[in-house]
Amino acid sequence: MNSGGFETFEHTADLGLRVWGPDLESLLTQGALGLFSVITDLEKMKAGPLRPVSRFFALEAPGPEELFLKWLREILFEFSAYGHVFWEFEIGEISGTRMRVSAAGGVFDPKRHDQKCEVKAVTY
């Protein structure tokens, strides 16, 4: 079964992220992995010694597109404010308008991890 994926593409003055998957859960997971892959090398973060971190998110939005954007904005805030990078996700509840998810990963350390791209905002 195809669990989905992501790819980046050039966009005027920006970088685009194309995400695909068989369902909303896969899209949310692949979107998060894509976002953090743009920011840093996830494989190096997973392999290197780091401080583990986990967070629980409960989000609601009017529809699935808005929920997807809210999710990416929330985890981007976690990176910007606290250096949290996530790569494991356990989605407990999901619908087109709400999600409950536990995310686990590690703390980004600029002395040990390379920042590939600075993501300032998530937009349509």
79 by Cβ neighbours in 10 Å (0-12 / 13-18 / 19+) ranks as buried
Is there a contact between 28 and 86 (Cβ–Cβ < 8 Å)?
Answer: no
How is residue 50 annotated by DSSP?
A: -
* pTM for this model (two decimals): 0.85
Res 1: pLDDT? 39
Res 85: pLDDT? 94
Q: What is the mean pLDDT of the chain?
A: 85
pLDDT digits (tens, 9 = 90+) for 85-114: 999 999 999 988 999 999 999 999 878 777
CA-CA-CA-CA torsion for 87, 92, 93, 94, nearest 10 degrees? Answer: 30
- The enclosing H or E element of 116 equals none
Report the percentage of the chain scoring pLDDT > 70.
Answer: 91
pLDDT digits (tens, 9 = 90+) for 35-60: 898 888 888 888 876 789 999 999 99
The mean pLDDT value for 29-40 works out to: 89
